[in-house]
Structures are given as structure tokens and as C-alpha cells.
Structure 1
Amino acid sequence: MTEIHPGQRVAVLVDSQNLYHSAQSVYSRNIDYSSMLEKAVQDRTLTRAIAYVIRADSPEEESFFEALRDIGFETKIKDIKTFGDGSKKADWDLGMSLDAVSLADHVDTVVLCSGDGDFARLCSHLRHEGVRIEVMSFGSSTATELVEAADAFVDMGEREDTFLL
């Protein structure tokens, strides 16, 4: 398995909804995306940084999307869907997984910023392909199977001063 080394090519994929809800429900704070990206890259070569976000028609979201781009993230935006019964749904699981698999031949490491256990199978697949998988999320809201499927896990909750605003 690939170890961390200078010049290593890294892709950082951020499940913004997952991290937002964890940060809000546990800490009532927001994510410091700049610090998160810096820690994820760790003096390696950043190939792609993608933040997957949901447009929910809230007044401050466009400035949030712009701030992500200013930090260095490419933003992929999906509109929230409202169903006839009033329920709402929007997630990027499939899109993130497809991007990770597509990037696998171009990077040494994928840093997956999410606590969603649905990504455990993706991690196993990428590791089988020789890609190092690092997961960054809040330990208290991260699926055990995701942590176990990764090569490394950074518990953002252990460093609130670094990862939260």
C-alpha cells in the first residue's frame, strides 16, 4: 500500500452535507474548509479537490459555494429534490464514488471527507486498485465500517480548534 511521501498525488473529495450536519448537530459550529484541505494534502501534490454541495435555496449558500472555490475546491452542485409528500432528498454518494473510481488511475491517495458508511465498499475497491484511502470526519458520527475500510482515519472532532470555526 502506498505510504505518505512528498510528491504523492492526492484527490480530496468532500461530502459537504455529511460534514455540515455532523458539525452542526454535535458542535453547533461550521467547518474550516481551508484547514481541512491543508491537513488533507499534507505537503503532497493536490490533483483535485472537489466539494459536493446541495443547493437548498438558502440565502447564504451562494457565498458559501464561492468561498469553497476561493479556497481551491471545485464545487459540484446538486439541487435538493422535494417530493409530493413534502420529503426532501439530495445526496452525492453515487457521484462521489464515480469520481473517485475515475480519479484512481491519476492519484496515489484519495482523501474522503465523510462519515457515511456507504463509502466503505468504495474504500475497499480503491485499496484493491492500489490507491491509499484516508478518511477525515467526526469520529462520533462516522460509521465504523468506513474507518475500518480506510488506510488512515483523521478524527476531526479530536482537533476542534483546527477543523471548526
Structure 2
Amino acid sequence: MRRRAGIFIDGTNLYFIQKNFLNAKIDIIKFIDYFKKDYDIYNVFFYLAYKEEDEKQEKFLKLLAFSGVTVVKKPVKQLKDGTLKGDLDVDIAIDMLLTKDNYDTAILCSGDSDFERLVYTLRNFGKEVICVSTKESSSLELVNASDRYIDLKDILPFIRLE
């Protein structure tokens, strides 16, 4: 019997990885299809801090939604020092915990060390957790906590946006 998986994509983290470490864009649908070979995907969640009135970004989010991806978004906030912040880590953690009965394996596309405790918690519930990121952007703590680690560079030929 095939295992059921939930895919949780930290969109802001993924954008940073594509821009700084992959020098390539990832096709989210191909990314999902890559995991469909081995798992029955119960749902895909894509989290993004977005810039309001960014038409290109809005078009991308609509494409995801119409492809069956659950899009969770928050507008970016400008802090007093001028920096931009759009943090969805808590949203990801809550969704991964609230939906844990719907999957055997959680595929977390992020390298953020903030998820270390979440991963240990999910594993205590008997869930397998796969971390998908790049070595340059993955915290050692998160990789160590996960059952498996997949480097995006290794699967890039299968998920690259053409």
C-alpha cells in the first residue's frame, strides 16, 4: 500500500533558494509530480508572503490554486527600520499538526531551523518527515531532525521550470 503524503512548501524560503543557490526556477507542478511517483498526495500547501498589487505574483498564486494547491498567503509588512517581513512559519506548523491524521509522510520544503521542534513532534506521532531544500540554505538542526533529506539540486532535472 502506498503511503499518503502532505506537501508543505515555504514559498518565501523556496524563492530565496531559487534566487541564491539554484540559479534556476522550480516548476511547482513538476515538484508535486516528482513526489506523486512514490506517494498518494493528500494535499499540497503553498505558503507565501506576498506584495499587494503584484500582478505577476497574483497570476502565479491563481495558477497554483487552479492546479489544486492550497495557497496560504499573508501580505508583506514593512517594519519601522524599512525591512520587509512576511513570516508564515507558525501557519505551516499549525497546518502540519492539524492535518497530521491525513498523511503518513510530511514533505517539508524549507531549510528553516524554526521547524526543528515541529519535526520532532511529528515524528513522535509516528510521521515520517522529509526535508527538501539545499545544503546552503538548510539548518543542520532541521536536517538532523528529519527522517530524510532531499537536496533540490539533486532533483532539479525533474522539477526545473522550462
Q: Same fold (TM over 0.5)?
A: yes
The structure 2 residue matched to 1:102, chosen from 98, 102, 107, is 98
Does the aligned pair in 1 maintain the 2:111–2:138 contact within 8 Å? yes
Matches within 5 A, 1:15-30: 15-30=10-25
C-alpha distance in 2 between matches for 1:42 and 1:120? 27
Shift of 1:60: 0.4
1:79-116 superposed Cα distances (whole Å, 9 cap, x missing partner): 00112331211111001001111111221111111111
Deviation larger for 30-39 or 128-137:
30-39
> What's 1:126 paired with?
122
Does the aligned pair in 1 maintain the 2:132–2:149 contact within 8 Å? yes
Aligned AA for 2:81? D
Matches within 5 A, 1:14-163: 14-57=9-52, 58-163=54-159
C-alpha distance in 2 between matches for 1:119 and 1:71? 27
RMSD of the TM alignment (CA)? Answer: 1.5
Shift of 1:39: 2.1
1:68-87 superposed Cα distances (whole Å, 9 cap, x missing partner): 12332110111001123312
- The alignment partner of 1:60 has SS state of helix
Q: Which structure 2 residue ranges, 5 or more long, are not aligned? A: none
Does the aligned pair in 2 maintain the 1:114–1:135 contact within 8 Å? yes
Shift of the 11–159 alpha-carbon distance from structure 1 to 2, 3 Å rule, reads: closer
TM score, norm. by length of structure 1: 0.89
TM score, norm. by length of structure 2: 0.91
Identity, % of aligned positions: 28
Does the aligned pair in 2 maintain the 1:123–1:149 contact within 8 Å? yes
Q: Which structure 1 residue ranges, 5 or more long, are not aligned? A: none
Work out the number of aligned pairs and report it. Answer: 160
Does the aligned pair in 2 maintain the 1:10–1:47 contact within 8 Å? yes
C-alpha distance in 1 between matches for 2:160 and 2:58? 20
